[in-house]
Structure 1
Amino acid sequence: MRKILFLCTMILNISISANNDEINRILASIEQNNGNLKALRIEADARIEGNREEMMPDDPEAEFAYLWGSPHEIGKRQDVNVSQGFDIPLITGMKKKVVSRENELVELNHQSERTHLLLEAKKLCIELIYNNALRDQQDKQLQWVEHVADAYRKQYEKGNIGTLAYNNVQLYLTEIKHEVSRMGIEQKRILSELKRLNGGIAVELTGTQYDLHPLPADFEQWFGQMEQKNPMLKYAYKESELNTYRIKVAKKANLPRFSVGYLMENVVGERYQGVTLGISVPLWRNSQRLQQAKSEAKASEMHAATMRQEFYDAFRAIYQQAQGLQQLILDYHASMRLYDNAELLEKALDLGNISIMDYISEKRLYYERITKVLEAERDYELLYAELTYVEL
C-alpha cells in the first residue's frame, strides 16, 4: 500500500505543482476581511457575555418603610430590610459548569460557520485553478489554430485548396475563440465571488495546477481523527454533555432557596436590628423542569448518534468517490504520457500526410482528453476539500 501511495504521489506530481500557498493566502485574507465572519465573531462574543450572567447571583433586595403612627402620639416608625438570595446550583458551582459548556457551544457554532465559509472560498479557488488551466490549454490551441488558419488563408487565396477546407479551418478558429471568451467570462465570475467573500477586496490567483495529496489509506483511522476536529460533531457531543449538567441543575433547583439579610426597625425610643434568614420552597415553579431536562438530554444523545452516523456515511461515500477519481487521474496521466500524439499531428499536417479535417478531428480528441484530466483533477480536489474542511 505504501508503494502504491508513493507511486501515486510521484505520478501526480509529474505535471502538478504546489498551489496551496496561493489558496491559503486567499483564505487568510477572506478570514480577515469577510464582513459576515466579523459579525459572527461579535455575535459570539455577545452571547458568551450574556451566558456569563447566569453565573451571577440574584440581585440583592432592599426595602425602606416610613410609617406614620395613629394616633399621632405613638410616633413614627422606620424599617430597613436588605437581603440577598442564593440557590443551591449557584453555591455548588453547577451553574458555572453549565455556562462554561454553553460558551463552548457558542465557539463551536462560530467555528462551524467559519469553516463552511472558508470551504466555499476554497472551492471557488479550485474552480478558478481549473478554469486557468483550461484557459491556458485553449490559448495554446488558439495560437496554433491561428497559425494554421493563416497558412490556409494564403493557400486559399492562391487557389491551392478548396473552399470546404478553408471554411472548416475558419469555423474551427471561431469555435476556439468562443471557448476562450467563455472561459474568460467564467474567470471574471469566480474572481467576483472571491472578491465578495473578501469584503470587496479583489484577489488574484493565477495558478494552473493543483497540489494533490493521496488519500489516507485507512479510512476508519482517518475518520476517527477528523471526528475529533469536526465542529458540528463536537457541538452535538458537547450539547449532550451540557444536558447532563442541566439535569443536575434541575435536580438542585428543586431544593429550597435561601436568603440572608439585615433588618432594622426604628420606633420612638426603641430600635431593633439583626440578621434575617429566609427560605423559599419550590412547590410549583420547577415541577416540570427536571422532566424537561431529562427529555432534552435523551434527545441530544439520539441527535449526536444520528449525526455521527450521517457524517460517517457521507464521508465514506465522498472518500470512495475520491478513490475512484484518484485512480482515474493515474490512468489518464499514464495514457497521455505514453500515447501523446500532439507533435506527430503537427508534423503530419505540415507534411501533408493528413487532411485538415482529420487534423481538426484529432486535435479535438486530444483537447477533450486534456479537459477530462483537468476535470478529474478539479473534482478530486473538490472532494478532498470536503473531506478535510475541518482543518481550514
Structure 2
Amino acid sequence: MKTKYVFACCGYFFAMGLFGQSPGLQEVLRSIEQNNTGLQALASQMEGESLALKSENNLPDPEITGYYLPWGNHSTGNYSEVELSQSMDFPTVYGKRGQWIEQQKNLLGLHYALERQNILLKAQKTYIELSILDRKIGHESERYKQAKTVYEQLSKSFEAGEAGILDFNKAKLVWMGKRFVLDQLEQQRQSQLAKLQWLNGDLPLKLEAVSMPPMAALPQFETLWVNKLQNDPELLIPQGKEDLAQRSIALAKAKSLPKLSLGYNYQGVQGENHSGLLGGLSIPLWNSKNKVKSEKMKWESQKVTTQHNESNLKLTAQTAYDRYMVLYTKWEAYTESLLSLNSEALLLKAYALGELSYLQYHQEIQFYQQAQEKQLQMEKELHLTRAQLLKHQL
C-alpha cells in the first residue's frame, strides 16, 4: 500500500508542480514521464524487487522424511518410518517482517520518485535552454537583417565614393559574423531538441511554441524548505532508511524468539505401527547473539546520516535561494534600464537618416546587443535556479 501511496503522491506533486509552467512545458513533461525508457525499465525492476521482497515472508517448504531399514540383525520385521514436518519462525516474526518489507517497498517507490524527478528536471532545464535559444535566434535573425541592410547601404555608398573601405569591410564582416552566429544557434537548438527527444524515448515531440512563463519571486525560504522536507524524495529517502533501521531492530528482537516445528510421524514394524503429532522448539542461544545490538548501531548511524544529509541539502538550497533573490532584483533593474535604451530599430533608423556615422552606429548597437544578451543570460540563470529549487514540485 505504501508503494502505491508513493506513486499517487508522485502524480499529485506532478500536477501541482505544473502550476505556473507554460502549456508547452506541461505537455513535454507529461510525454517524457510516459515515454522515458529509463523510467519504464526502473518500474519493471521495482515490480520484480517488490515481488522478491514479498516472498521473503513466506513459510519454508515442508519436509517429508522416510526410513525403510530391512538390513541388520533383528528378530522383528523390517522397520519403516515416515515423517512430515513444517518449520517456522515465531508467529510475531512474520508481522514484524511484513512491516519491514512494506518499508522496503516504500523506499523502492521513493527511489523511483527520485529518478523520475531527476529526469523531469533534466527535461525542464533542456526546455529552458531551448526557450532561451529561440529568443536568441529571434534576436540574431533581426540583427542579421539589420546588418545586411547596413552592408547593402554601405556597399552603394562605397561604390559612389561616399564611404571608406574600412567601414565597408567592417560592415561586411559584421554581416557575415551574424550569419555565423545564427547558424551556431540553430545547431545548438537542434542539439537541445535531440536531447529532449532522447528523454522522450526517442519519440518525436511536437513543440509548436517554446516559451517560459513570466519571471516571479519565490516564497519565503522557510515555507519552501518545509515543502521540500515533505515532498522531495532526496530528503525522504534518508528518513525512510531511518524508519527501516527501526523496523530492523524490531525484527531482530522478534527473531530472537524460538523457532517452531510441527508435523506428523508414522513408525511401523512387524504388523505394528505408531503414529501421531510431533512438535519442536529451538533454543535461541547462539544465532541471535549481538544482532539486536548491531541493528541499533545501524539505526544510530542512519540518524546521523539523515541529519547530515538534511543539513547539507538545506545549505545548498539556501545558497541557491539567496543567489536567486539577488539575481532576481538585479534582473528586474537591468530589464527596466534596458527598456530606456535606444532599440536596435531606432539606432538603424538614426543611421539611415545620417544622424549617426557607421562607427557610432556600430558602437551603440554593440553596447545594446551586449546588454540584451546579458539580460537573457540572467533570465536563463533565474529559470534554471528556480527549476532546481522547485524540483520537488515536478
**Which residue of 167, 179, 189 corresponds with 2:191?**
189
Q: Deviations over 1:115-151 (max 9, x none)?
A: 1111111111111111111111000111111112112
Partners of 2:354 and 2:337 in 1: how far apart? 27
Alignment coverage as a number of residue pairs:
375
Q: Deviations over 1:180-226 (max 9, x none)?
A: 11111111111122222222223344545421452333211221011
1:92–1:43 CA distance, 2 compared to 1 (3 A): closer
Is 2:99 aligned against 1:97? Answer: yes
CA contact (8 A) 1:254 1:282 kept: yes
Q: Which residue of 2 aligns with 1:243?
A: 245
Q: What are the residue-to-residue correspondences of 1:321-360 with 2, within 5 Å?
A: 321-360=323-362
Partners of 2:172 and 2:51 in 1: how far apart? 69
Q: Which residue of 2 aligns with 1:382?
A: 384
Deviation at 1:270, TM superposition (A): 1.2
**Which residue of 83, 86, 98 corresponds with 1:84?**
86
Deviation at 1:287, TM superposition (A): 1.5
Q: Deviations over 1:363-382 (max 9, x none)?
A: 11111111111111111110
Q: Deviations over 1:6-41 (max 9, x none)?
A: xxxxxxxxxxxx862212212222222222111111
CA contact (8 A) 1:141 1:176 kept: yes
CA contact (8 A) 1:19 1:207 kept: no
Q: What are the residue-to-residue correspondences of 1:134-283 with 2, within 5 Å?
A: 134-205=136-207, 207=209, 209-283=211-285
Deviation at 1:160, TM superposition (A): 2.0
3-state SS, counterpart of residue 38 of structure 2:
helix
Deviation at 1:340, TM superposition (A): 3.6
RMSD: 1.8
One-letter code aligned to 1:137 = H
3-state SS, counterpart of residue 272 of structure 1:
strand
Partners of 1:153 and 1:44 in 2: how far apart? 68
CA contact (8 A) 2:83 2:265 kept: yes
Identity of aligned residues (%): 25
Deviation at 1:322, TM superposition (A): 0.9
Partners of 1:253 and 1:130 in 2: how far apart? 60
Q: What are the residue-to-residue correspondences of 1:8-157 with 2, within 5 Å?
A: 20-71=22-73, 74-88=76-90, 90-91=92-93, 93-157=95-159
Deviation at 1:298, TM superposition (A): 0.8
Q: Deviations over 1:149-202 (max 9, x none)?
A: 112212222222121111111111111111111111111111122222222223
Q: Which region of structure 1 is more displaced relative to structure 2, 199-208 or 363-372? A: 199-208
3-state SS, counterpart of residue 63 of structure 1:
strand
Q: Deviations over 1:318-364 (max 9, x none)?
A: 11111112112211221122334434312321111111111111111
- In structure 1, the gaps of 5 or more residues are 1-17
3-state SS, counterpart of residue 55 of structure 1:
coil
Deviation at 1:109, TM superposition (A): 0.8
Q: Deviations over 1:64-92 (max 9, x none)?
A: 22221534752223212111122126556
Q: Deviations over 1:289-331 (max 9, x none)?
A: 2222111111111111111111111111111111112112211
Partners of 1:182 and 1:300 in 2: how far apart? 50
1:37–1:303 CA distance, 2 compared to 1 (3 A): same
3-state SS, counterpart of residue 56 of structure 2:
helix
Q: Which residue of 1 aligns with 2:300?
A: 298
CA contact (8 A) 2:24 2:211 kept: no
CA contact (8 A) 1:57 1:90 kept: no
One-letter code aligned to 2:279 = L
3-state SS, counterpart of residue 267 of structure 2:
strand
TM-score (norm 2): 0.90
Q: Which residue of 2 aligns with 1:363?
A: 365
Partners of 2:312 and 2:21 in 1: how far apart? 32
CA contact (8 A) 1:262 1:273 kept: yes
3-state SS, counterpart of residue 286 of structure 1:
coil
Q: Which residue of 2 aligns with 1:5?
A: none
Partners of 1:159 and 1:337 in 2: how far apart? 37
Moved over 4 A (4+): 89-92
One-letter code aligned to 1:313 = L
